[in-house]
Amino acid sequence: MQSDPNCGQNSQQNSHTNSNSITSEVEQPPVTGTNKKRRSLRRRSFLGHAGIFTAAGVVAGVVGSPFSYKRENAAYARSIGPLTDEEFRENAYQVRVKAAQANRELPILPHPTNGDEERYDNKIATDTRGLPHDNLGEVDLNAYNFFIKALRSGSFDDFEKITLGGTRKLVNPIGPLAISLQGLTPPQFAVPPAPTLTSDEQAAEIIELYWQALLRDVPFSEFQDNTSNPLVLAAVEDLNKLSAYRGPKPNSRVTPQNLFRGSVNYVSGKTAAYYTLPGVTVGHFISQFLLLPAPLGRANASNKSIMKY
């Protein structure tokens, strides 16, 4: 698996193109003699509040940016003034309307499934966590069917009536139904279907997970190409036997140095394409709770001292 250096290039180019076309269509107020003094004052005010405007620009995104993207990804300042507060408000409104219209014109993409839900009547290949199960681990079909009903109706009352298998509640099940004030809506993003239950790819993922469980207490210092750790060497040998393994494989081989690293799959046409993103093979998967300080009373406690390298 090799990294795709052009992975985000098209999206960046599209964003730049949209930004220019949207901004150029917004009519700018003319510069008059009566506005010169106001422009000078507003320039000083802008410089004095540059930090605030910078933060606002991050939130607003590239659509409302006062920069024009031209050759070699260089940014050139584009005049946006002088503006009264009312004109600035109207200008922002026009930019946002055109951005919303541009987002709306993008198509709703297909969302194919892997067919496992229809393939298995007992739903053994479907994510049924949180629902009641029998002693074989199979989901209660009545509870499952009501869960599906709630997903289709989007009714808050239906979600409240879902039968749970324990005391733990479902985590934000209606979150995907929320409307974001910026960007695309979820149906406009394509997500490749998961590998089927009986596929070689699914088996490879499970084998990797089992090896991760067996090696979870092995110090990171053992994940080196010169390691003599028998478990690390056995995991590497096993994963190299799997033709359907989709993890990073520099030079077509899993090594102790790049064992248990991530990859990302994108929709490319009608199939999923796998890429190893930059930086993925540099280090190990580490919980953020081990890296970031955690609140402990009035102070923050660091957990770095308990990590073994």
- Band the pLDDT of 1: cuts 50, 70, 90: very low
48-62 tens-digit pLDDT: 443 333 334 433 444
Query: In the chain, what's the furthest Cα-to-Cα distance?
Result: 83
155 belongs to a structural domain: yes
Q: Kindly state whether residues 132 and 60 are assigned to the same domain.
A: no
Q: Kindly state whether residues 23 and 75 are assigned to the same domain.
A: yes
Q: Kindly state whether residues 92 and 18 are assigned to the same domain.
A: yes
Residue of 86, 210, 74 whose CA lies nearest to 94: 86
75-91 tens-digit pLDDT: 455 566 678 999 999 99
| Lowest-confidence pick of 148-157, 252-261, 279-288 | 279-288
77 belongs to a structural domain: yes
191 belongs to a structural domain: no
Q: Kindly state whether residues 100 and 13 are assigned to the same domain.
A: yes
118-149 in b/e form (b: 16+ CB < 10 A) is eeeeebebbebebbeeeeeeebbeebbebbee
Q: Kindly state whether residues 142 and 229 are assigned to the same domain.
A: no
Q: How far apart are CA 94 and CA 27, in angstroms?
A: 9
Q: Kindly state whether residues 276 and 213 are assigned to the same domain.
A: yes
Tally of domains within the chain: 3
295 belongs to a structural domain: no
Does the pLDDT of residue 36 top 60, yes or no? no
Burial class of residue 98, CB neighbours in 10 A (0-12, 13-18, 19+) = middle
194 belongs to a structural domain: no
Does the pLDDT of residue 133 top 50, yes or no? yes
- What pLDDT score does 262 carry? 77
- What pLDDT score does 181 carry? 86
Is 221 in contact with 228 (CB distance < 8 Å)?
no
Pairwise pLDDT comparison (16 vs 141), residue with the higher score: 141
Burial class of residue 259, CB neighbours in 10 A (0-12, 13-18, 19+) = buried
Q: Kindly state whether residues 123 and 89 are assigned to the same domain.
A: no
Structural domain containing residue 19: 9-105
How remote is the C-alpha of 160 from its chain's centroid? 28
- What pLDDT score does 178 carry? 84
Q: Kindly state whether residues 217 and 258 are assigned to the same domain.
A: yes
2 belongs to a structural domain: no
Does the pLDDT of residue 92 top 50, yes or no? yes
